[in-house]
Homo-oligomer: A and B are copies of this chain.
């Protein structure tokens, strides 16, 4: 198997598929690979797309921009994760913009033949489809989590909800977050300076300590 495909074995889409079948399915799905420079746009909001993408290397942001130009980060994705699967399955225009947050390598796959269910298809396809179902379900739940943050009324609540979730998912207490301040504000959809002010207050009240991307939540907060 080609070296550059090794990481696909860890990709949820190919979970349960034999190593030798992975490359076969790539060819079956008419793959192509493309490189992007940092900040290059991979998919612009409003466009349709016929193929889903899998990040092979680098980091990619899923963004949304409002009429006033406020950029908000919907989510980040990493090597092994896929994007555009929903708009391919639904044949709709993308509600989001996909941007390379660093230099990135992406592989694209046509999955039309998996969607109709009436053609004669190779054996591994059933597994691909059920993996796709699972991925879409996880993303659904992820979007619900995002909505949870955004539906909170104050910046402090949003920050706390995010930090608690981050603490929980890492299982550590001094823990790092994958955002710098600008990005965190964009993710929580609040003003950066207002967020910074609130973070300062929370530090004064000893709710949280932080230095760059390393955060420590007060133990009393964690007891709830």
Contact = CB atoms under 8 A, between A and B. Distances in A.
Contact of A141 (B95, B117, B147): B95
Interface in A114-147: 114-118, 126-127, 129-130, 132-134, 136-141, 143-147
A61 interface: no
Nearest to A93: B141
A89 interface: yes
B90 A116 contact: no
Task: Give me the 3 closest cross-chain CB pairs, A-B, nearest first.
Answer: A117-B126, A89-B137, A90-B137
A9 B140 CA distance: 26
A212 to B, nearest CB: 25
Interface of A: 64, 66-68, 70, 72, 74, 85-90, 92, 95-96, 114-118, 126-127, 129-130, 132-134, 136-141, 143-148, 150-153, 157, 189, 191
Nearest to A89: B137
A150 B148 contact: no
Contacts of A126: 117-118
B66 A134 contact: no
B189 A138 contact: no
Contacts of A146: 147
Contacts of A127: 117-118
Most buried by B among A96, A136, A138, A157: A136
Contacts of A147: 64, 74, 143, 146-147, 150
A95 B148 contact: yes
A102 to B, nearest CB: 23
A134 B86 CA distance: 8
A145 B70 contact: no
A75 to B, nearest CB: 10
Contact of A140 (B115, B129, B140, B189): B140
A133 B115 contact: yes
A162 B88 CA distance: 25
A115 B89 CA distance: 17
A191 B152 CA distance: 11
A116 B16 CA distance: 10
